[in-house]
Chain A
Amino acid sequence: ETGVTQTPRHLVMGMTNKKSLKCEQHLGHNAMYWYKQSAKKPLELMFVYSLEERVENNSVPSRFSPECPNSSHLFLHLHTLQPEDSALYLCASSQDQGYEQYFGPGTRLTVT
């Protein structure tokens, strides 16, 4: 595997479900990010981790819970989501904070 991988690629979940998104980077980077991309809106930065420590939480609802067990892996735990949370969720990594980011292919999430 090379670059940044994300699983699953597609996810449909009900509002009462609990699921997790997984991201893995094979680039030796120290920073990882979660973004939300909705139609007709700019990418929204959700969380930033640097050296496995969360450094930014951009007013994201608590139904989204990130986890970074090591510098290569990042998870986004989801519970009791709303239909408006349906979007493409992108993971990215960078050498250090502030450098160019490399993105995974995203998880297309649909909340029913």
Chain B
Amino acid sequence: EDQVTQSPEALRLQEGESSSLNCSYTVSGLRGLFWYRQDPGKGPEFLFTLYSAGEEKEKERLKATLTKKESFLHITAPKPEDSATYLCAVRTDNFNKFYFGSGTKLNVKP
């Protein structure tokens, strides 16, 4: 059964304290892994797409990496404005199947 699991469910960091969020997946065939950021009361905002193991993407303080079983979203020296829920999603061999994880709620304290 296709499955996407994110951990931890919630993460509290001090400003400047780097950490990583995990997205592990079990799918029949990965066609793409996507990271999104969602602020309260808003729709998810696209961050990155990763297609193959070993691929990395960076944007400001965020860096996403991908292996054959999981993806990490590394946050370097986070700021309070990075506080949000981070979602990952995968697209499988079945072109129309798109699965989201439950998200990691990140809180960065000043």
Mark A residues whose CB is within 8 Å of B: 4, 33, 40-43, 45, 48, 55-56, 90, 92, 97-106
In the assembled complex, the CB of B9 is this many whole angstroms from the nearest CB of chain A, namely: 9
Contact of A103 among B31, B43, B102 (CB under 8 A): B43
Q: Who on chain A is nearest to B36 by CB?
A: A103
List the 3 closest pairs (A to B, CB-CB), nearest first.
Answer: A103-B43, A43-B100, A56-B96
Q: How many residue pairs between the two chains, A and B, have CB atoms under 8 Å in the bound complex?
A: 49
Which of chain B's residues 56-110 have a Cβ closer than 8 Å to chain A? Answer: 87, 89, 91, 95-103
Q: How far is the CA of A100 from the CA of B34 in the complex (A)?
A: 7
- Once A55-B96, A98-B31, A98-B32 are accepted as A-B contacts, the answer to whether A42 and B4 lie under 8 Å apart by CB is yes
Give chain A residues whose Cβ lies under 8 Å from the Cβ of B4.
42
> CB-CB < 8 A to A42: which residues of B?
4, 99-103
Contact B42–A106 (Cβ < 8 Å): yes
Most A CB contacts (10 A, CB to CB) among B32, B36, B91, B98 go to B98
